[in-house]
Structure 1
Amino acid sequence: MRLYLTALKPTDSVTDGFLPAARALGCDVTILTDRPERHPGAIGCDVRDPRALIDAIAHLGRPDAIFSNSDHLQVETALAADYFGLPGKDWRACLAAKNKFLTRRALAEAGVERVRSLRLGPGDPVPDGLAYPLVVKPREGVASEDVMLVESDLAGAVAGIRRRRPGETLVVEEYLEGPLRTLETLGDASGVRVLGGFETTLGPLPHFVEERLDWSPARPDGHVLAALRALGVGFGACHTEYVVTPAGPRVVEVNYRVIGDHCDFLLADLLGVPLFEWILRAHLGEPVPAVPEPRGHGSAVSLVADRSGTITAAPAEEAVVTGDVRLWHRPLRSVGEVVERTHTNRDFLGVIRAVGPDRDRVEAAIGGYRAARPWVIE
């Protein structure tokens, strides 16, 4: 079986998740990327252009599957899969999910939910008279970059983002107050399976840095699944974030790929299944198996820089067993590296994921590890 995987920069999800899974399935993998120097054995291609992507694949040989886990390449990859008649996502759904303005419009037109929202093009004036608080964000942003809560001066917030991101379109919407949750799904040709979800803990406002996620397997009331259907999202892996407001769940954003920040590995640990293989099997035209009931509790804690400076001490990559809790630490930075604090997910120094019988024991293991092996910035 020949699998083409489109990618931009290397990620742990691809390097340690999908590539080993593809090998386990017996796939002959070709990585297509605009950064071939960063992927061993990869082939250079303008993967942001579906015409170039289709041309490259046609030249290299008939595919059995075309797949991407990149936020930025879902539309292009879906178009290529459709061209070759392969299982894949609907490119329209990929576009509507990635573009936060289109997400809001599609959900409103379907009558699923209405969240006050407007689009600000690069030259559009900032309107007066909007009801605060508001959230302003890049229309197609990732990693919480330039996502801000605004309580009084929208024009000033927009001007600051435009200085950092000239030429980009922004979205301004009402602030959704309440607990932040995720829904993880995996679909095949027959329908969508709910894998579970997480409770998300954010850092201090006005920024929206996701500092930890804790397993929360309770099924949603159907609102989020209805929103996904309205967007056309179903096939393959999807990570949806939503807020439980006093008026009910409201979608924050739909990320049409598997959850990141090592929560994909945590999800596989909790379910006890080869999750990355399951996702690839769907793209190879195979059915998704029945989802087992998870056992125990799991948490993923991002170790966030609280200041700018130089990293002078840090724990290594390791796996630790503490009683009946399994814990993994993955450093994302190195000793000697200079950190410039950005108030985004780019401030992550490392991530801890842990699985155990219950939340108390998992929390105790994480706390003990952090106390014994701190990251130090000076």
Structure 2
Amino acid sequence: MQTYLLALNPTDSVISGFLPAAGRLGLSVTLLTDQPGAYGPPGALGPDVEVAACEVRDHRAVITHISRRGQPAAVFTNSDHLQAQGALAAEFFGLPGKNWRAALRTKDKALMRRHLAAAGAEPVRAVEILPGQSPAACVEAGGETGGVVYPCVVKPREGVASEDVVRAEGPAELLRLCTEIRARRPDAALVVEEFLPGELYTLETLGDGRRLHVLGGFHTRLSPPPHFIEQRLTYVPDHPAPVREQILERLALLGVGFGACHTEFVVHEGRARIIEVNYRAIGDHGDLLLAELLDIPLFDHILATHLGEPLPESLGARTDRAARIDSPCADRAGVLASAPGAVDRTDGDVRLTYRPMRPTGERHPLHRTNRDYLGILRTIGPDQDSVDRAADAFLAAQRWEITP
């Protein structure tokens, strides 16, 4: 069965998750990308994977490319930036897929806020600043969901990975930040919204359009303000029922329910409020950890939904283990002179998997996003105490040296 996978740059989710799953399902994959050279020479991804150049951000180019080769079995993407394009292509060919309106609603943070506010659910005061518009004029005028209140958060309307997401304490700081972001992203629309207090969590779901499974979620530890770098995710097998139901209600309003979805939200005084909805599997090795922790063929299930196969009533997920993910970050620009290599280790009942995210010898600026990750450690064990002890000991024993 010929399957088309839309992608931008290579990710661990695709290389270590979805492509092996496609092989297990007997699929022939054409990987459409605007960066074919990043995937290595022909055949580098295996005999059943073809890499083809395509302007994947344009759904018309995707549809035209696929149509030259006949009817596909599935069109799929795990990219934040390509969900609407993948959904439109799947719909064009009459294939199972996400609703393109839901994909657009969740990607566009301003559109998401307006949609939820119009439904009477979770109003958040927010202002949208379009390219070419004066940040000062927009902030003073307010927006459809109310004017700016402080503290607030400014972010790219369609950004990812906390890039250029910054907290501002007052008008002068906000306008300075908008000017700085606009200098880096002149064509990007910005959203300024009220800061939502509370502890940060995620909810991970998997659906087939009829049945929705909740895979648990994570409690996220962030870097100190004003930036929002995810430094640690501790697995939460089951959020309190009122919290879980609040988030599931919001997802239903947005039209989310097909394939994987990674939702970030805060809980404050028992009230859950969405930060953003990423209509794809959790990244930065979170999906790889879930598959191992729950002992389920997660990537196979996600692909199978796009082939039109229903999810089982029960996924048979394990519930007897704990886990966390740690992401050591660079704290300054420079050359990574020395760092630990890949590690796969079992200490008693605890499994540790460390993967470097940056090669030694390369110079990098300081991004204040997950681009600053030096590596990712996945730790799984029988209980949280043993997981925390093993992860803390491993990290304390490592050294990452950054030179000017």
TM range (shorter): over 0.9
Aligned amino acid, residue 335 of structure 2:
T
Per-residue Cα deviation, 1:204-236 (whole angstroms, up to 9, x for no partner): 100000001000112333111111111111101
In structure 1, the partner of 2:26 is: 26
Q: TM-score, normalised by structure 2?
A: 0.91
Tell me which residue corresponds to 1:139: 157
1:149 to 153, 162, 167: 167
Contact 1:355–1:362 (Cα < 8 Å) also in 2 = yes
- Select the residue among 215, 218, 228 that pairs with 1:195: 215
SS in 2 for 1:73: helix
The 5 Å alignment of 1:42-57 reads 42-57=51-66
Partner of 1:234 in structure 2? 257
Q: Which shifted more, 213-222 or 273-282?
A: 213-222
Partner SS, residue 294 of structure 1 = coil
Aligned length: 378
Match of 1:123 among 126, 132, 136: 132
The alpha-carbon deviation at position 247 of structure 1 amounts to 6.3
State how far apart, in whole Å, the 2-side matches of 1:284 and 1:18 are.
14
| Equivalent position of 2:311 in the other structure | 288
Give the CA RMSD over aligned residues.
1.3
TM-score normalised by structure 1 residue count: 0.97
Paired AA for residue 367 in structure 2 = T
Q: Which residue of 2 aligns with 1:335?
A: 360
| 1:261 equivalent in structure 2 | 284
Identity %: 53
Match of 2:144 in 1: none
| 1:109 equivalent in alignment to 2:134 | no
1:371 Cα deviation from its structure 2 partner: 2.3
Contact 1:112 1:223 in 2 (8 A): no
Aligned counterpart for 2:293 among listed residues 264, 267, 270: 270
Q: Is the 8 A contact 1:272 1:294 kept in 2?
A: no
SS at 2:328 equivalent: strand
**Contact preservation (8 Å) 1:135, 1:148:** yes
Matched, 1:168 2:191: no
* Segments ≥4 residues shifted beyond 3 Å: none
Matches within 5 A, 1:63-74: 63-74=72-83
Structure 2's unaligned 5+ residue stretches are 43-49, 141-146
Q: Alignment partner for residue 346 of structure 1, among 363, 371, 386?
A: 371
Alignment of 1:211-230 (within 5 A): 211-219=231-239, 220-230=243-253
Find the residue that maps to 1:311 and give its secondary structure. strand
Shift of 1:293: 4.5
What is the CA–CA distance in structure 2 between the aligned matches of 1:179 and 1:209, rounded to whole Å? 14
**Unaligned stretches of 5+ residues in structure 1:** none
- 2:83 equivalent to 1:58: no
**Where does 1:74-89 land on structure 2 (aligned, <5 Å)?**
74-89=83-98
Q: Is the 8 A contact 2:148 2:194 kept in 1?
A: no
Secondary structure (helix, strand or coil) at the match of 1:221 reads: helix
- Please state whether the residue corresponding to 1:72 is helix, strand or coil: helix
